[in-house]
Structure 1
Amino acid sequence: MATPLTATALLSALRSEGLTVVEHSGWRTHNRNHKGAWGPLNGVMIHHTVSSGTDGSVELCYNGHAALPGPLCHGVIDKTGTVHLVGNGRANHAGGGDPTVLRRVIAEDYGDRPPAPRKHDGGAGSVDGNAHFYGFECVNLGDGEDPWPTAQLDAIERVAAAICRAHGWSARSVIGHLEWSDWKVDPRGFTMPSLRNRIATRLSSPASGGSASTPAGGTSAPRYQPFPGTSFFTGRTSSPVITAMGRRLVAERCSSYTVGPGPRWTDADRRSYAAWQRKLGFRGSEADGVPGRTSWNALKVPHTG
């Protein structure tokens, strides 16, 4: 059991784990504390939004809807791996769940997964999960077909590890909504045991820090290539940054190259980058193949020196 992190402590924990975080207006005091307890905290719960697009998903989770007021979670993890903070305190995300699951999460003594839940919101004997869990909604349609980009899965792992690290919890303090309530199926598209394995591995090493590393001699240097701006990507550009970008696109299986990639920006680069944007969930004019800051940061192009 743990005292909830302050807004400042939560933000610091997330950034220390190397996450890109967006603070939405008023999130530090946006909560449902007037409706019930917030704490003691016992774990982190992962959800999917059943929605697409970052802006609409964040707005939904911040404001909620007529039947369920917001915030609907503490943070939204979008397809690029960016974490959008929308609440701090009690949030309408977990609902009622199985007290046996809660006891096993507190004890951190289960094996591959906690016992199958037998309770749900409004059912006799259910326990209020909104009082006991941090909640993170991940942008995904939840149909089993909508992809989970590598950047998004990495961010989910880092978010959970950051909070576990801050409280001294193990990966067994992280559960999915489907492991809490017998009415729920989220998250769908990856397994919670596999996520907990990744979290456990991450927790076995110190926090990975932000987007900078410190080489011998103590001089800080960027770990990833900063976004060079949209105007950088024209047929006149020839740079090792373009080559490094192309190699990352090949690694992400978004390649339209027949030769290369090379240092000069070409139509093959544009087609490959458009495939990366679509992989992140962008559509229409947002997947035109011209890099933007969000998709560029998610690609994690290595610094070229």
Structure 2
Amino acid sequence: MATPLSADALVAALRAEGVTVVEHPGWRTNNRNHKGSWGPVNGVMIHHTVTSGTTATVALCFGGRSDLPGPLCHGVIAKDGTVHLVGNGRANHAGSGDGDVLRAVAAESIALPAPNQNDTDGNTRFYGFECVNLGDGKDTWPAVQLDAMARASAALCRAHGWSAASVIGHKEWTSAKIDPRGFTMAGFREQVTARLARKPAASQASPASPATPTHQPFPGAAWFRKNPRSAVVTAMGKRLTAVGCSAYAEGPGPQWTDADRASYAKWQRKLGYTGASADGWPGAKSWAALKVPYVKEV
């Protein structure tokens, strides 16, 4: 358990992790503290919004709805990777969930129990990020957004001395929710772990402009298993070729193929992986080591 960060400390932690932060007017005093305690905190909860458009989503999450007053989270993470701060204190985002899950998060257990009861107030214990996505399984998660989500989560984990095991999805807190949808939380926690293994990024010179990473953020293990067609695949293939791990008869190109997987397996073996660890499916650590140049398209 930990004492929640002050508003200034939260902003500093996010910016130190390389996050582009926009402070919504009034966010520092926008909370539900009159309805219950805020803290001690145990972790970070990730949500999808079931909305589109940054401006409308930020307004909704700041003010809430007639049946659910705002703030609905602490920060909204837009498609372009910008984090819009909308609340500071208790927020209506987690609701009731499983106390066994809270105990596992507090213990930083790698294996979370499946939620089967709603007996614990999560709004007291978790920071919440609402991430702009329709949540229909079809709306894409841009790499820059996933990177910002991982950075924001890592910022809080770093500030509190937590591991990535302190980051969960809403669906892992209660069986009544399905968010976030479109990536696995296990894969996302790998991204957070990879971020925590690095030194914090320097504060950004301009907090109003999105950060552009030098290397392509890890899109998550599940992304590759969907046989994506993306410039990211081309960039990866060119990088694999450059490090002497090509299994391509032609290309590489944007469509993920068996040749990409065979080439990546060569890279894994070059790193010393064996057996199932060298199966050709990218993981966060081997991806970070490959240093694929950043491309906008995912």
Alignment TM-score, normalising by the size of structure 1: 0.68
1:130 partner SS: coil
Within 5 Å, give how 1:158-173 maps onto structure 2: 158-173=151-166
| Aligned partner letter, 2:28 | R
2:123 partner SS: helix
CA deviation map 1:159-209 (0-9, x unaligned):
000000000000000000000001000000001000101111111121122
Contact 1:21–1:82, Cα closer than 8 Å, also in 2: yes
In structure 1, how many angstroms separate the alpha carbons of the residues matched to 2:66 and 2:137? 27
Q: Identify which of 126, 132, 151 aligns with 2:144.
A: 151
What is the percent sequence identity of the aligned residues? Answer: 64
Structure 1 residue 253 displacement after superposition = 8.2
Within 5 Å, give how 1:206-217 maps onto structure 2: 206-211=199-204
Within 5 Å, give how 1:251-290 maps onto structure 2: 251=231
Contact 1:211–1:224, Cα closer than 8 Å, also in 2: no
Is the aligned partner of 1:140 residue 2:133?
Answer: yes
Following TM superposition, where does structure 1 have runs of at least 4 consecutive aligned residues deviating by more than 6 angstroms? none
In structure 2, how many angstroms separate the alpha carbons of the residues matched to 1:39 and 1:50? 27
| Aligned partner letter, 1:76 | V
Within 5 Å, give how 1:50-69 maps onto structure 2: 50-69=50-69
Is the aligned partner of 1:181 residue 2:174?
Answer: yes
2:138 partner SS: coil
Structure 1 counterpart of 2:80: 80
Structure 2 counterpart of 1:5: 5
Contact 1:77–1:83, Cα closer than 8 Å, also in 2: yes
In structure 1, how many angstroms separate the alpha carbons of the residues matched to 2:187 and 2:212? 27
Structure 1: tracts of 5 or more residues without a match: 121-125, 213-222, 226-249, 255-297, 301-305
Q: Could you say if the C-alpha distance between residues 107 and 59 of structure 1 is closer, same or farther in structure 2, counting changes exceeding 3 Å?
A: same
In structure 2, how many angstroms separate the alpha carbons of the residues matched to 1:142 and 1:134? 20
Count of residue correspondences? 216
In structure 2, how many angstroms separate the alpha carbons of the residues matched to 1:75 and 1:30? 12
In structure 1, how many angstroms separate the alpha carbons of the residues matched to 2:105 and 2:91? 19
Structure 1 residue 131 displacement after superposition = 0.1
Structure 1 residue 224 displacement after superposition = 5.9
Structure 1 residue 251 displacement after superposition = 4.3
Contact 1:43–1:133, Cα closer than 8 Å, also in 2: yes
Structure 2 counterpart of 1:43: 43
Larger Rg: 1
In structure 1, how many angstroms separate the alpha carbons of the residues matched to 2:36 and 2:66? 19
| Aligned partner letter, 1:15 | R
1:131 partner SS: coil
Two-structure CA RMSD over aligned residues (Å): 2.0
Alignment TM-score, normalising by the size of structure 2: 0.69
In structure 1, how many angstroms separate the alpha carbons of the residues matched to 2:117 and 2:195? 32
Contact 2:21–2:84, Cα closer than 8 Å, also in 1: yes
